[in-house]
Structures are given as structure tokens and as C-alpha cells.
Structure 1
Amino acid sequence: MSDTNAQGIAVITGASTGLGAVYADRLARRGHDLLLVARNKSRLDTVAAKIAENTGRTVEVLAADLADPTQLATVETRLRTDESISLLVNNAGGTVFGPLSQADPSQMEDLITLNVTSLTRLTTAVLAGFTRRGSGTIINLSSALALNVLPVSAVYSGTKSYVVAFTQALQQELAESEIRVQAVFPGAVRTEFWDGSGIEVSAFPEEWVMSADDAVDAALAGLDAGEPMTLLSLPDITDWDTFDAARQAMIPNLSRSVPADRYQS
């Protein structure tokens, strides 16, 4: 099947488990060959073998720790130079929940590197090829906690809020092109993401927790519908439109020559 690669190669980070593995399966079934990126090569090999057997697509693995500058650079080079790449899913990420006053600074730095720096660098790298070819798709995984900020989520929510602003800026930058950029906002999803995070997924009511299969299927349905922002469990997308319209309504008054009246004596 993969001797003709009309859909191009889809690159998925964090592809060894959870949402990344489901994205890999779904995109292969849509006709993409795959490049799967994660730290754990044995798990990547297992995912790749299963998808190749089930879909007939070509599935390549690249074991890399995206928090390591040297290994990140290897992935960047592939994204920048491979003319077959047509889609990037920035799914790799992590979290640590807890009061910031008790946090390990090095652990927080690693979290920012993975959630912000690697996503930014990989997007920059893949855009080099997309702009040359005039097309491509980028899917950035944000989080419901970019909007629902909690006392224990200061760094995680901050990194995922960055993903939202970053994506919105890219959407404006690329508005006149055929390059698409989508932000996806999962809520609680039943994956290994929670292991070691400080919160167990079992602590949430069942009605709050989505399966990884449902989450990815909904995200891709949002992509197909042309949504720039896909909030997986939000019943009415106009709620987001209202939220964003309120933000935009403030823009004319965010930078003026005098302070607001309430700050003047």
C-alpha cells in the first residue's frame, strides 16, 4: 500500500503510548506513512509493528528524548529536510502537579523544555519544508488546563497556555497559505500521562475521563471540520467563540498613550 505516498509522512511525537499511539493508528488508516518519535524504542517498535501489520503503511521509528538538545536536533534535522513530511503532531509532553513552593526547579525546567521549547523548535523546523512546498498540517496538543488553571498546575497550565498563544499567532501568520495549524484541548484522558504526575486519573469521576480513542477521533473530526481550536468535550463551540471574541474586544485598549481612568487621581 505504501508504494504510493499521496498523503505524505505524518510525524507524531510521544507516539509510544496514549494519544500519540492512537494518532499514529488513525493517521496510518487515513493513508499516511509514519515517523514515530518517543524515548522508549522498544515501545515504539511494538506500536510501529502493529500499525504496519494492520494498515500496510510504512512506519519508521526515531527514538529521541526531546528534552535533550542533541537528540532534539536530530529530529529537527529530519523535519527540516525530509520533503515527504506533510503533517506534524506535537503530542509529546509531561506534567508534574503540586504547589510551586514545593517544586523541584530542575524538574520544572525539564517540563518547560519538553512542553514549550521542543514544540517550538520542531514546529519551526517543519515549517521550513511546509513553506517551501506551500502546504502542510501542524497539530499542537494543548490542554483544558490552559483554561482551567488550578493551584497545583502553575507550570503545566503556563506551558499549555503558551501552546494556545503560539498556535493562534501561527494561524495569523499562515492565514494566506495552505498550511493548517490546529490546537487541541484534551481534558482528562485515560492514559499513562498521569503516572507519576502527582494526581491519579482514578481520582476523577468517570464522567470526566475520556478514552484516548475517543479523544483522537474527536480531534481529527475537528481538524476535518476546519476548527482552529478543538475543545474535545465542549458541547457548544460558540462558547469558545464568545470567549475569544471577548479577548479580541479588549485589543484596541491594551496599548494606549494614557492609563485607564481608574488609575488616574
Structure 2
Amino acid sequence: MPLTRPRALVTGASAGIGQVYAEHLARTGHDLVLVARRADRLQALADELGAAHSIEVEILPADLATRDGVEAVASRLGEAPEIDMLINNAGYAARGRVAELDFDALDAMLRVNVLALSRLSNAAMKRMVAAGRGTIINISSGTAFMQMPGNAGYGASKNYVLAFTRHMQLEAAGTGVRVQLVIPGVIATDFHQVAGNDLANFPPERVMRAEDLVVASLRGLELEEEICIPSLPEITDWQSYVAAEARVAANVSRDRIAPRYHNGA
């Protein structure tokens, strides 16, 4: 019986982090399904990777800000040839102070960052749990830990990814499905230009190459790390964060208010 190669579906694959995931997975013998809005860029990347690595590369042009686009990708996750790995990478930042928000821009961003990721995670989990195997990687952001003026919408969307993925990890336990949460910092891609910023505004020591991020993520899978924060020196810092969270959770629902609210009585 001929051996079949694993197949990965990558969203936001036409540039930046998504493109680098596609390149790394192609080099390690994965067939690919590449998803993004720009069909011409997808086709150029598919031609390049297919020729260089003798793999099969499908393209699936889709706008994940639209229901039709999301459902087209969700449908592909349930079809043959089977998808073994989903990289939920598509996302962008629409920023603005809350009092000045452009709600059309916010709506479109949340559809991609929150709703599309949720629907594709749902479709992949359903298929992978039934098969007893598979890998899902969801990309959050270091801004999930930060509060900055003008970043409420984007930061909240990445907080959602963080929380949603951690719940997925609990549900995936014992199913054979791996779920990894990746929390990047500032990455050297065109993401920042699209968001109206400039990489030159960040100190060089804070900016990571997309290639290094992807290497950390894929190596983290080998190490069975559910949480990949590529530049975090000690994973114990994350563990301390989770422990502090657990202490708050233990006291968030009690039958009486805390003593400090008793007006000194």
C-alpha cells in the first residue's frame, strides 16, 4: 500500500506567517491546501512549492470575513483528501480608540479573527475527533496580555483566541487530537503596515523573524508543548500565570463579599 503524505490547511497563506508555515511544511513533506483572498499570490506560491518539493498543493481562495468564504473552507475540512493539520493563522488588526471606532472595520476584523477561527476549529475538531488524530494550531498574540489605547478590539479578539483554544485543549484530551496555542510578539511581516504601523517603531530586539516563530511552533509540537510563546525564556513563567489565574478562579464565586467591602465593620 503506498504511503500518503500528511496534508495541512493553512489560512492566511499568501504572505507573512502563513506563507512561512506553508514553506516549512512543504519542506517536511506535507501536501498543502492554501487559503487566502488573493488567488494570484496563492497560485504563485502553490506552483513554487509544488515544483520545489514534489508535493500536491491545492489553492482555496476565500474571504474569511464573509460567511460564504468561511463555509467554503469549513466544507473542505470535512472532505477528502483528509486534512491532518489546520493552521488557523488568518487575522489582522483594525485599531482605534473605543470612542472613535469604525464599526464596519471592527465587524470585519472580528469576523476573521474570532468567527472564522471558531468555525474552522469546529469543522476540524469534528473531523479529527472522529478520526482519532489530527493537529490544530491557533495563532493568538502577545497583545492578549497587554492593554494599550486604541487596541481594545484587536487585543480582545486575540484574548478570545487564547481562551477558546485553551478550552479546545481540554476537550481534545484523550481524543488523539493535538491543539497548540501560539502566542507571538512582534513579527517581521507586512501585518504592521496593513494595521497602519511601521516595524521601524519597534526596537530591533523586540522583532522576531517569521521563520523563527514557525520553527518554534513546529518544534513545540515535537516537545508536546500545548502553549508556544516563542521568545519566552522559561515556560515556568507561563505556568506561574496559570497558577495565579487558578487562585483568582478559586475565589471568584463565593457566598459572601470580600472583607474589604464591609466598610470597616
- CA contact under 8 A between 1:83 and 1:129: conserved in structure 2? no
**What residue is the counterpart of 1:259 in the other structure?**
257
**In the aligned structure 1, how far is the partner of 2:64 from the partner of 2:177?**
24
Distance in 1 (CA, whole Å) between partners of 2:3 and 2:90 is: 25
Match for residue 56 of structure 1 among 54, 57, 61:
54
Answer yes or no: is the 8 Å Cα contact 1:98–1:198 preserved in 2.
no
Which position in structure 2 is the counterpart of 1:150?
A: 148
* d(CA) in 2 for partners of 1:138, 1:200: 30
- Residue 14 of structure 1 contacts residue 38 of structure 1 at CA under 8 Å; is this kept in 2? yes
Q: Does residue 169 of structure 1 match 2:167?
A: yes
1:32-111 mapped onto 2 (5 Å cutoff): 32-82=30-80, 84-111=82-109
1:131-151 per-residue CA deviation (whole Å, 9 max, x = no partner) reads 110111000000111112212
Q: Which residue of 1 aligns with 2:215?
A: 217
1:85 aligns to what SS in structure 2?
coil
Shift of 1:175: 1.2
Task: Give the deviation of 1:257 after TM superposition.
Answer: 2.0
2:166 and 2:77 mapped to 1: Cα distance? Answer: 22
Decide whether aligned partners of structure 1 residues 46 and 83 sit closer, same or farther in structure 2, where only a CA change above 3 A counts.
closer
1:16 to 14, 17, 25: 14
The SS at the match of 1:81 is coil
Q: Residue type matched to 1:62 in 2? A: L
Structure 1 residues 261 and 32: CA distance shift in structure 2, 3 A:
same
CA RMSD across the alignment: 1.5
CA contact (8 A) 1:82 1:129 kept: no
Q: For each residue in 1:161-203, what CA deviation from the matched residue of structure 2 results, as whole angstroms up to 9, or x when unmatched? A: 1111111111111112210101101111111111231221121
Q: Distance in 1 between matches of 2:2 and 2:102?
A: 49
CA distance in 2 between partners of 1:5 and 1:130 (Å): 20
Residue from 247, 250, 264 that aligns with 1:249? 247
Whichever residue aligns with residue 130 of structure 1, its letter is M
Question: 1:158: how far off?
Answer: 0.3
Cα offset, 1:83, TM superposition: 5.4
Match of 1:122 in 2: 120
For the 8 Å contact 1:142–1:185, the answer to whether it is kept is yes
Kept in 1, the 8 Å contact 2:129–2:176? The answer is no
Q: Percent identity of the aligned residues?
A: 40
Q: Structure 1 segments of 4 or more deviating over 3 A?
A: 3-7
TM-score (norm 1): 0.95
**Residues of 2 paired with 1:211 and 1:7: CA distance?**
28
Q: Is the 8 A contact 1:137 1:179 kept in 2?
A: yes
The alignment of Structure 1 onto Structure 2 pairs a total of residues equal to: 263
The alpha carbon displacement at 1:81 in A equals 2.9
- 1:253 maps to a residue whose letter is N
Q: Please report how far the alpha carbon of residue 263 of structure 1 lies from its aligned counterpart in structure 2 after TM superposition.
A: 2.4
With normalisation by structure 2, the TM-score equals 0.95
Distance in structure 2 (CA, Å) of the matches to 1:146 and 1:9 = 30
Is the 8 Å Cα contact of residues 96 and 102 (structure 2) preserved in structure 1? no
DSSP-derived class of the 1:130 partner: helix
Structure 2 residue aligned with 1:193: 191
Give how far 1:125 is off. Answer: 0.7
In the alignment, the residues of structure 2 paired with residue 147 and residue 112 of structure 1 have an alpha-carbon distance, to the nearest angstrom, of 18
Which residue identity does 1:36 align to in structure 2?
A: L
**CA drift at 1:61:** 0.3
- 3-state DSSP of counterpart to 2:194: coil
The whole-number CA distance in structure 2 between the counterparts of 1:228 and 1:165 is 13
Distance 1:25 1:261 in 2: 57
Structure 2's unaligned 5+ residue stretches are none
Once the 2 structures are TM-superposed, how far is the Cα of residue 154 of structure 1 from its aligned partner?
A: 0.7
1:169 is paired with a residue whose SS is: helix
| Structure 1, gaps ≥5 residues long | none
